[in-house]
Amino acid sequence: MALILVAGTYLLCERILALAGYFHPIVASILSGIGVFYCLAGKTLVKEVKAVFEAVDRSTEEGRKQVGRIVGRDTSRLSPQEIRAAALETLAENLSDGVIAPMFWFALLGLPGMMAYKMVNPLDSMIGYKNETYLYFGRAAAKLDDVVNFIPAILSAWLMIGASYLLGLDGENAWRIYKRDRKNHTRPNSARTESVCAGALGVQLAGDAFYFGQLVHKPTIGDPGRPVTAEDIPLSCRLMTLTSVLSLCLFL
């Protein structure tokens, strides 16, 4: 399933662009531009995370419902602090998945590579579950996601550290927490950007969470210096935006 969907996406996109180029190169360029627009999710990600912070300020229950749109864990028991932290984790992790990794694969393989990556990423989320029923069925998709995100995740973390210094955040602490906590996750790439975000803002992320009604023990990322507050949203969004701009300059 993983092979057919990913390879099929690449080949179909490549054939469509080739057919468009047969009529005129400008047609292929326009299609590429449209494809890139739909493959980059930075604005949508910021919008969803802001909505979580606004919802939890209105009520805890509304915040739980809103954060459930963007995380895979059970949200029915989350406190306001945990809701905000979960939203920040998603923002940091998906900076790589939603913005930098697609641009990385576009730089290497053009729009077909970018589209193939965008098939790998949600495929892992849809079938890569660690439970008895789907453990082996989703394993190929999960491992493939780890491979294609490895270099982009490292680049994302390094660029985010640079952006932390440029924005006047705690870049030194971001580097320190990155070196210490970048592997504090069951997945090899997820904690890289989360650790930088936690260090730059001086907060603690991750930790134990419920999945499918079962408590899963997970290490924390960052130091428990202070709780996550509403003021962290504009800071983290500026951090993500500048990191995206730096990555765009790099790939150009």
Higher pLDDT, 214 or 117: 117
pLDDT single digits (tens) 16-35: 999 999 999 999 999 999 99
What local confidence, expressed as pLDDT, does residue 208 receive? 60
Give the lowest-confidence range in 11-15, 20-24, 135-139: 135-139
CA 142/CA 140 separation, integer angstroms: 5
pTM exceeds cut of 0.75: yes
- The pLDDT tens digits for 162-199 are 999 999 998 899 999 999 888 877 777 878 998 998 89
Q: How far apart (Å, rounded) are the C-alpha atoms in residues 137 and 154?
A: 28
Report the 10 Å Cβ neighbour count for 10: 20
What's the confidence (pLDDT) of residue 210? Answer: 63
**Do the bridges between strand 209-211 and strand 214-216 make them parallel or antiparallel, or are there none, so unpaired?**
antiparallel
DSSP 166-180: HTTS-HHHHHHHHHH
Q: Which of 90, 43, 100 is nearest to 66 (CA)?
A: 90
102 falls in which pLDDT band (50, 70, 90)? very high
Mean pLDDT of the chain: 86
For the segment 83-104, the average pLDDT, to the nearest whole number, is 87
Q: How many CB atoms are closer than 10 A to CB 202?
A: 17
